[in-house]
Chain A
Amino acid sequence: MSTLIIENLVAGIPGKQILNGINLTLNSGEVHAIMGPNGAGKSTLSGVVMGKPGYVVHSGSVTLDGVDLLALPAWQRAQAGLHLILQYPTEVPGVHLDDVIREAYVSRGRDTSTLDAEIVAEAARIHFDMALVERSMNVDLSGGEKKRNETLQLALLKPKFAILDELDSGLDIDALRDCARRVEAATQEDNLGVLVITHYARLLEELRPDVVHILAAGKIVKSGGPELADELETTGYAGLTQ
């Protein structure tokens, strides 16, 4: 069992504090949802935890099984077991999915001899067209194809924890269901812990959260069970953050 602990995290961008003391503990196999209005700090939280350039940490800590993630560069955080699916996956022209996964395997000391077969099997599982594997990373892919591609990488790399930053933005219902079900399956099969960041309750119908947190103005203002997401649907954020 692994644990990701965020303690009193205060961070932002230069000149602007966005996160005002976040506390959260996520265990293997759990799904925690973070919901909140625009500007609450949801994407900042995912960027800071993964080590995306451009953010400043003022205080607090993020640890994975006791390892201080904030002291590590992004690539070492990934090797420690953290994975991020960006809201808008980056296009990397001329670089193919299998190149990336192969290098990611090699950097983890993993055997790549069956990699091609693993890619074929995983692509079939989330209905990702193998012809798209030959394309440049995220270039000329639809919103749904991009998120299937991202989910495919998550499934292959088998991290301990994944942060899904608005996995549900820019994709159709079928793709949403395929991606959400694959992540849900990973929580069962690989004991993956998931921090799912979203505006909408729909994603949570497929990817059932154990805990729902409401993030507003850089703080978690309320936490509860899945019923909190349903409550949001009727009251809106205004009702919960007042």
Chain B
Amino acid sequence: MSDLAQYPGVILPTAEEEIWRYSRIEELSLDSYVAGTVVNQVDAPADVAGIVTQGAAAGECGVAMPIPVDAFAEINAIHCSGAHADIITVKTERGKSYASPVVITRTLSVSGVLAAPRLIIDAAENSEVTVVEHFLSADDISSLIAPVVEIRAAQSARVTYIAINELGNKTWKIAHQQSLGERDSTTRLFTVALGGDYARVRTEARLVGIGATTQQVALYFADKTQMHDFRTLQTHIAPRTSSDLLFKGAVQDTAKSVYTGLIRIEHEAHGSQAYQTNRNLTLSHGAWAESVPNLEIETNDVKCSHASTVGPIDDEQRFYLESRGIHPDIAERLVVLGFFNEVLERLPQIDVVSGLRAKVAAKLHAGAK
């Protein structure tokens, strides 16, 4: 534990805490970084240009995460009210559906900085919006990004958020996604993680209004010495809420991944349903994946299920394709891309998403020609 001069009062966690178990938090030394910022690029076509504000005030924070949930959320909150504040808000108008997505590209362009950008998506009653947050850095950039996205979906609002991590292989990411779903709202949180050295996302969907629905979906693929780390929470507070989580990952070379997920159904949330599926492919002998699903249910009359698998490519699937005359490397490649298709097909079909399949394919050793 260390008290950090530049972040008074912030105490870094240790791997002894359950939610940091298996993580690489012990390797982190905040002294290696000075507070800094990313370079932002906002692509908002005419229909959404008016709802995006860059450089918003610190007072906008807190729509879904009023109190920081851990040290990195605290650091982000400190940034928000200081010299390195980087707050972008997307605020929709009541009853309006926006066809174009807002695409925010956050690029870390220098080494040795800790950047903590915040994105706030505040969707008014019965509005609909899609926001993409794309994280980039070059391979030689050794920095830390601690982004927070807060999402509030008011009654009957529909919000789709997509985080794409294409950070360089020396960059660390410790991210938070927090959504709040009010009555009959729909929140969808997608994550595609391909980059980073150690890249962690804590994602929590809170269902606070009757009939609210959420989906959390992720694709992650780590190779070389990368590590992807996901902590998910599906928190049902109001009655008749539903959540569906699908996280699919692969590890190659000596890469690692961690998934721990908690479905929490609180006392008032009767009539709710919650599903959680985490599937992992280990593509090399030296690769390692951990999957820990958990349930915490405080009421009756709920439907819950969770499924979790870790293992190599299925022999029968490989044989089936080989029996059609397909070389084993190509067969393996088809199986892995098929495995990820289930996630890619759920993503909204927009420009920034359409190239992801090829990027996944490019990372695969199997069948690489």
- A residues near B (Cβ < 8 Å) are 50-53, 73-79, 83-84, 86, 89-95, 99-101, 103-104, 107-108, 136-137, 153, 157
Residue pair A92, B323 in contact (C-beta under 8 Å): no
Residue pair A90, B316 in contact (C-beta under 8 Å): yes
Chain B residues whose C-beta falls within 8 Å of the C-beta of A91 in the assembled complex = 317
Chain A residues whose C-beta falls within 8 Å of the C-beta of B32 in the assembled complex = none
Residue pair A84, B325 in contact (C-beta under 8 Å): no
Residue pair B322, A73 in contact (C-beta under 8 Å): yes
Residue pair A50, B326 in contact (C-beta under 8 Å): no
If A94-B340, A104-B324 touch, whether A74 touches B319 (CB-CB below 8 Å) is yes
If A84-B323, A89-B320 touch, whether A94 touches B330 (CB-CB below 8 Å) is no
Write the chain A residue with the least CB distance to B330: A103
CA distance in complex: A79, B324 (Å): 8
- B residues near A (Cβ < 8 Å) are 315-317, 319-328, 330-331, 334-335, 337-342, 345
Selected A-B contacts with CB under 8 Å, 26 pairs: A74-B319, A75-B322, A75-B324, A75-B325, A75-B326, A78-B322, A78-B324, A78-B326, A79-B325, A83-B323, A84-B323, A90-B316, A92-B334, A92-B335, A92-B338, A93-B339, A94-B337, A95-B321, A95-B338, A95-B341, A99-B334, A100-B324, A104-B324, A108-B325, A136-B341, A137-B338
Which listed residue (B316, B319, B326) contacts A100, Cβ 8 A? Answer: B326
Chain A residues whose C-beta falls within 8 Å of the C-beta of B324 in the assembled complex = 75, 78, 100-101, 103-104, 153, 157
Residue pair B339, A75 in contact (C-beta under 8 Å): no
CA distance in complex: A24, B340 (Å): 43
If A92-B335, A93-B342 touch, whether A50 touches B320 (CB-CB below 8 Å) is no
Residue pair A90, B338 in contact (C-beta under 8 Å): no
Chain B residues whose C-beta falls within 8 Å of the C-beta of A78 in the assembled complex = 322-326
- Interface of chain B, helix or strand or loop or mixed? helix
> In the complex, what's the smallest C-beta–C-beta distance from A166 to chain B, in angstroms?
16
Residue pair B317, A92 in contact (C-beta under 8 Å): yes
Residue pair A93, B338 in contact (C-beta under 8 Å): yes
CA distance in complex: A89, B316 (Å): 10
Chain B residues whose C-beta falls within 8 Å of the C-beta of A99 in the assembled complex = 334, 338
Residue pair B322, A94 in contact (C-beta under 8 Å): no
CA distance in complex: A165, B322 (Å): 17
Residue pair B327, A75 in contact (C-beta under 8 Å): yes
Chain A residues whose C-beta falls within 8 Å of the C-beta of B326 in the assembled complex = 75, 78, 100, 103-104, 107
> In the complex, what's the smallest C-beta–C-beta distance from A161 to chain B, in angstroms?
13
Write the chain A residue with the least CB distance to B325: A78
Chain B residues whose C-beta falls within 8 Å of the C-beta of A76 in the assembled complex = 325
If A53-B315, A90-B316, A99-B334 touch, whether A157 touches B325 (CB-CB below 8 Å) is yes
Most A CB within 10 A of own CB, among B317, B325, B326, B335 = B325
Residue pair B341, A107 in contact (C-beta under 8 Å): no
> In the complex, what's the smallest C-beta–C-beta distance from B358 to chain A, in angstroms?
14
Residue pair B328, A95 in contact (C-beta under 8 Å): no
Residue pair A53, B335 in contact (C-beta under 8 Å): no
Residue pair B334, A50 in contact (C-beta under 8 Å): no
CA distance in complex: A227, B364 (Å): 55
Most B CB within 10 A of own CB, among A75, A91, A137 = A75
Write the chain A residue with the least CB distance to B345: A94
Chain A residues whose C-beta falls within 8 Å of the C-beta of B320 in the assembled complex = 86, 89-90, 92, 137
Residue pair A50, B338 in contact (C-beta under 8 Å): no
> In the complex, what's the smallest C-beta–C-beta distance from A73 to chain B, in angstroms?
7
Closest 7 CB pairs of A and B: A94-B338, A94-B341, A78-B325, A95-B338, A90-B320, A75-B322, A104-B324
CA distance in complex: A29, B345 (Å): 43
Residue pair A103, B323 in contact (C-beta under 8 Å): no
CA distance in complex: A101, B324 (Å): 8
